[in-house]
Structure formats: C-alpha cells, structure tokens
Amino acid sequence: MDTVPPKLSLEHSAVLFLDMQNEFLNPDGAFNRNGLIPPMAPADRQTLVLNSTKLIQTMRETGRPIVHLKTVFRPDHEDCFLSPLWQSCLGHKNSALAKGSTGAAIIEELQPQVKDFVLIKKGHSAFQHTYLDRLLARLGIDTCIVAGNLHGSAHETFAQGG
C-alpha cells in the first residue's frame, strides 16, 4: 500500500536557522581547522545558501516567522557552554564567535531583516539558555523547519526541546 506523506502546512510553522555564521561556514573557521565540522565544498555551500534564501522567501511571502539562532560569546569565552572538545578549538586568545567579530556574524546572504528574530545561544542547543521555547509558544508555532549548520547544534537542539 502506497502512502502519500502529509503536505507540510506553513500555517503554524517557523523556520529556524542554526549557526549560519561565518565561523561555521568558512573553511578557515576554528571548527573546520580542527576537524569538528567537515569541510564544505564551495558547490555545497552555494546550494545551502540558495535553498536557504528560497526558504526565507517562502516564509516571508506567507508571513511566517524566521528565527536565526547564532552562537556568540564574550571575547574571553567565559560564557561559552559548548562541549569541552568544541571549547578547545576556540582557544583562549581566539576571537572565534566573539561578539562583534566577523566569525560571529550571520553570513551576508542571509542577513536578518527587521521582522526576523535573532537569538543568541551559548551552547550547542537552540533551546538551552535561550527563550526559543517561549517565543515559539507565544507565536503559536507547532512545526519548526530547521536549516543551517547541523553538525552538533541539531542533535543538541532536538535532545533539549525540539
């Protein structure tokens, strides 16, 4: 018996972009250099950006929320709650993901607009140490479309709250 998968309804949905930041998507980023994130071929990055911009366009056309979750720390990383292995890539003098740094910025192609939500996270999870759960509840969201850098943040996000 063939079953047809249910069609995605955008009525109560939001898109969550996880860590679409220069530090994570740049081949010279700390996590790429240390092997925690596999290098992304330029064609794969281009596909990710193209699909993400199409998703943003669809969500904006339908009036649905766009939430950018980005990992940002103090310059001394004292507020970093990444796992010890990931923290070791940052080093003590590395400005990776420091507030105001190029690495912490969302990639140019996906810059948030005024109506978008931008939440700062301090660890792998999009829910832990953020108010994402409250935001989604307040907006009446029951379906999240997750996109972005999924090499650690996705597993932790779903384990924590998604």
**Residue range 107-117, pLDDT digits in tens:** 999 999 999 99
CB count, 10 Å around CB of 160?
Answer: 17
Instruction: Report whether 87 contacts 36 (CB < 8 A).
Output: no
Burial label for 28, CB within 10 Å (0-12, 13-18, 19+), is: exposed
> What's the pLDDT at 88?
83
> What's the pLDDT at 4?
64
What is the CA 77 to chain-centroid distance, rounded?
19
The per-residue pLDDT of the chain, averaged, comes to: 85
pLDDT reading at 5 higher than 80 = no
pLDDT reading at 62 higher than 80 = yes
Average pLDDT over residues 92-118: 90
Query: DSSP 3-state assignment of 134?
Result: helix
CA–CA separation, 109 and 56 (whole Å) = 11
Stretch among 26-35, 129-138, 149-158 having the lowest mean pLDDT: 149-158
Q: pLDDT band for 157, please (50, 70, 90 cuts).
A: very low
* E strand residue ranges, 107-159: 117-121, 143-148
Q: pLDDT band for 1, please (50, 70, 90 cuts).
A: low
Stated pTM of the model? 0.85
Hey, CA dihedral for 154, 80, 28, 67, is it positive or negative? positive
> What's the pLDDT at 145?
92
End-to-end CA distance of the chain: 31
